């Protein structure tokens, strides 16, 4: 039975998609069977991994138009494509009974066929995100160590508490990790240390350093291990994968 991990943050631009792609690729390289699910209406995970012509996507599957389709990317790695139409998911399904469990029901038949399912969540804490939280065993929260960094984190943690009480008591926060990190910058270093003190059980040891290669890889439809396996970004995500596997 696969473990479902959701990469989430209320704040956009913090590396959710980059982390979903590269943790997924790293797990696949470690021999794990991995399914990525693009739940962000921007569909950047889908585009950034080179799948630009998918005829079937997660939105159509959630609406029951066709079965869930996973597109193979590499050995042990497959992707359920995203869609811009996800932005209207709440309007279409908002009044439906058990609307928070549509994704869970959709993924259930696939859970025996893979070891990990990774969900790339949208920045908005709406119905799509609730569906992700309702089926995830663990949330991983990428965070930039800068001013107001705790705002998005506190909103996620507040929602986590409510979801645990009402929808998914088994869900936990797997960890918080810093992205685009540069310890030479005083503000980022100080903010990181402050958050480690404030949330000692949540902040992971691994940090993802600022890396040009991490920004370049999606433009070529590649993960960091395929694009620049000797880069700092590859080393950091390899370390993050190893840390996730021990939690």
* Number of Cβ atoms within 10 Å of the Cβ of 64: 9
d(CA 242, CA 148): 29
Closest residue by Cα to residue 42 from 98, 85, 74, 105: 85
> Domain-by-domain residue ranges, the chain?
3-245
- pLDDT tens-digit series, residues 134-155: 999 999 999 987 766 677 688 8
CA-based end-to-end distance of the chain: 17
- pLDDT tens-digit series, residues 146-193: 766 677 688 888 889 999 999 999 999 999 999 987 776 666 677 788
* CATH class belonging to 3-245: alpha beta
Q: Is the pTM of this model over 0.85?
A: yes
């Amino acid at each position: 039975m696969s473990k479902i991990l959701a990469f989430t943050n209320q704040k956009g631009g913090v590396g959710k998609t980059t982390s979903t792609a590269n943790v997924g690729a790293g797990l696949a390289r470690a021999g794990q069977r991995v399914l990525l699910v693009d739940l962000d209406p921007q569909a950047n995970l889908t585009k950034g991994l080179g799948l630009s012509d998918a005829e079937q996507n997660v939105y159509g599957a959630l609406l029951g138009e066709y079965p869930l389709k996973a597109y193979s990317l590499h050995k042990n790695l497959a992707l359920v494509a995203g869609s811009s139409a996800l932005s209207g998911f709440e309007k279409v399904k908002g009044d439906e009974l058990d609307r928070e469990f549509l994704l869970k029901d959709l993924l259930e038949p696939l859970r025996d066929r893979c070891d990990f399912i990774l969900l790339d969540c949208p920045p908005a804490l709406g119905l799509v995100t609730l569906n992700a939280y309702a089926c995830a065993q663990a949330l991983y929260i990428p965070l930039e160590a800068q001013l107001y960094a705790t705002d998005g984190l506190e909103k996620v943690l507040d929602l986590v508490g409510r979801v645990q009480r009402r929808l998914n008591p088994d869900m936990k926060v797997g960890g918080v990790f810093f992205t685009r990190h540069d310890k030479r910058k005083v503000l980022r270093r100080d903010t990181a240390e402050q958050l480690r003190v404030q949330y000692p059980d949540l902040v992971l040891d691994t940090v993802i350093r600022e890396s040009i290669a991490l920004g370049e890889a999606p433009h070529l439809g590649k993960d960091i291990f395929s694009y620049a396996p000797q880069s700092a970004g590859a080393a950091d995500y390899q370390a993050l994968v190893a840390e996730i596997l021990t939690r």
